Structure 1
Amino acid sequence: MALVEVEVDVSLGDFETDDLVEELRQRADTRDVGLPHGYDPVEGKGTVALAEACHEARRRGDDARALELIDRLIYAALGRIV
C-alpha cells in the first residue's frame, strides 16, 4: 500500500459537523472487528464458515487441513494468495 499526500485548499469550517461525523462513522465501519463476508468457491463457504472449519480441523489435530483452510480464509478475506 502506498501513502500519497495531497494538499487541498479547504478548511474544516467548509464542512458541516454532521457530514464529518458521518464520514468518520463510515470509515470506522470499514474496520469493524470480525471477518468480511468473502466467499471461497473451492470450499463453497464464506469466511466465517472457513474460520469454523479451521477451528474444527485444529481441534481434531489435523494441522495440514487447518493450514489449507487458513490459506483459503486469507484469500476469501483479503483477496491475497499465500
Structure 2
Amino acid sequence: MPTVSVDVDVDLDDFDTDDLLEELKSRGLNHNGVGLEEGYCPIECKSTGQLAEALFEARRNGNDQRALELVDRLIYAALGRII
C-alpha cells in the first residue's frame, strides 16, 4: 500500500477528550487504549481494560495464581470463549 504524506495545520487543543474517544472507537480501540474488544466479566464486575489492569497488578506483585485466573476471565471477556 502506498504511503501519502500530508501537512495539516491543526492544534491539539482543537480536540477535546470526547472527540479523541470517538476517533479511537471508530478505529476499533476502546478508551483504555487496550487493543482488546471491550467486554465485561460478570464474575469480576470489570471490563476488559479493568481486567488487564488487575492482571498487570497481580503479575507485578508475584501473585501468579490470581494472574492465571484473571487471564482466563480476560479471554472470556474479550473473546467470549471459556478455558
Q: Same fold by TM-score, threshold 0.5 exceeded?
A: yes
How does 1:1-82 map onto structure 2 within 5 Å?
Answer: 29=27, 34-82=35-83
Cα distance, 1:47 vs structure 2: 0.2
Larger radius of gyration, structure 1 or 2?
Answer: 1
Q: Which amino acid aligns with 1:46?
A: S
- Please give the secondary structure, in 2, of the residue aligned with 1:73: helix
CA distance in structure 1 between the aligned counterparts of 2:68 and 2:77, rounded to whole angstroms:
14
- CA-based RMSD of the aligned residues comes to 1.4
Deviating above 4 A after TM superposition, structure 1's stretches of 4 or more consecutive aligned residues are: none
Cα distance, 1:35 vs structure 2: 1.1
TM-score (norm 2): 0.60
CA distance in structure 2 between the aligned counterparts of 1:35 and 1:52, rounded to whole angstroms:
13
**Identical aligned pairs, as a percentage?**
66
TM-score (norm 1): 0.60
Count of aligned pairs: 53
Q: Which amino acid aligns with 2:54?
A: A
| Greater helix fraction, Structure 1 or Structure 2 | 1
CA distance in structure 2 between the aligned counterparts of 1:37 and 1:72, rounded to whole angstroms:
13
Segments of 5+ residues of structure 2 without an aligned counterpart are: 1-26
